Amino acid sequence: MIPAKKRRISHRTLFFMREYGPHAHIASNIIRESLYVLLPAAILSSLGGLGLEAVRTKFLTILPLVILLPALNDMVGDFGTVISSKFTIALYRGYIKEAWWRSQFVCELARAMFIVALIAAVYIGALSTGVAYLQGSAIDTELLFHVLEVALIAATVLTGLIFGVAIIGGLAVYRRREDPNNFLIPLTIAIADFGSLIVMSVLVVLLF
């Protein structure tokens, strides 16, 4: 009988087998690990409405912003999922070293996300203004400029915030030998909900 060969198994392989191997309880692992962040995330999302409540009267009179808010919220939430997933994969594959801010992967991911965020902000800002015009809202050049300004500033601030949370939180969770996706995705979506409402409220006060 030929003796079995000994193979060196990496920590990443052991992690994968524990989380998603043939005898792992994948659904229960995800639910158990996500519960730690789901309740704080739900509370955080709910608090975002308090900021908007303070400027509700002014906000509701600006139809393009009413149309813009859910689109911006959804866009930033999707960015949180993409950033969290890609950063987690990079961690598993060993692309992220101690000085993560020097990582080529992180720099390229940040560049790509900010470019997409700015392009998408212009698109949804212009589209929201166009829809508002078709609904009979009075639109002029100044209002269009302010709506685009709100979209660009909000997209930049929120993308940067979520990017920072995904990286710092992802590293912290990964060092505990847990799957960052189970924590980061609900957390970044909650921050997108909370942050978009707060940033929008501040910009309404400053620009309108």
Q: What is the pLDDT of residues 159-204, one digit of tens each?
A: 998 888 888 888 888 887 777 777 788 778 778 877 887 888 888 8
Confidence of residue 56 (pLDDT cuts 50, 70, 90): low
Residues 26 and 34: their CA atoms lie apart, in Å, by 12
Residues 166 and 168: their CA atoms lie apart, in Å, by 6
8 has pLDDT over 60:
no
Q: Which stretches within the chain are classed as H helix?
A: 11-20, 26-53, 56-60, 63-92, 104-134, 141-175, 180-207
Annotated domain spans of the chain:
39-207
Q: What is the pLDDT of residues 40-52, one digit of tens each?
A: 766 766 666 666 6
Residues 152 and 106: their CA atoms lie apart, in Å, by 22
Q: Dihedral sign for Cα 93, 98, 102, 108, please.
A: positive
What's the pLDDT at 118? Answer: 92
Contact assessment for residue 69 and residue 154, using Cβ atoms and an 8 Å cutoff:
no
Which comes out higher in pLDDT, residue 178 or 75? 75
Which comes out higher in pLDDT, residue 50 or 117? 117
Give the mean pLDDT of the chain: 77
Q: At what angle do helices 63-92 and 180-207 cross, to 10 degrees?
A: 150
Question: What superfamily does domain 39-207 belong to in CATH?
Answer: SLC41 divalent cation transporters, integral membrane domain (1.10.357.20)
Whether this prediction's pTM lies above 0.85 is answered by no
152 has pLDDT over 90:
yes
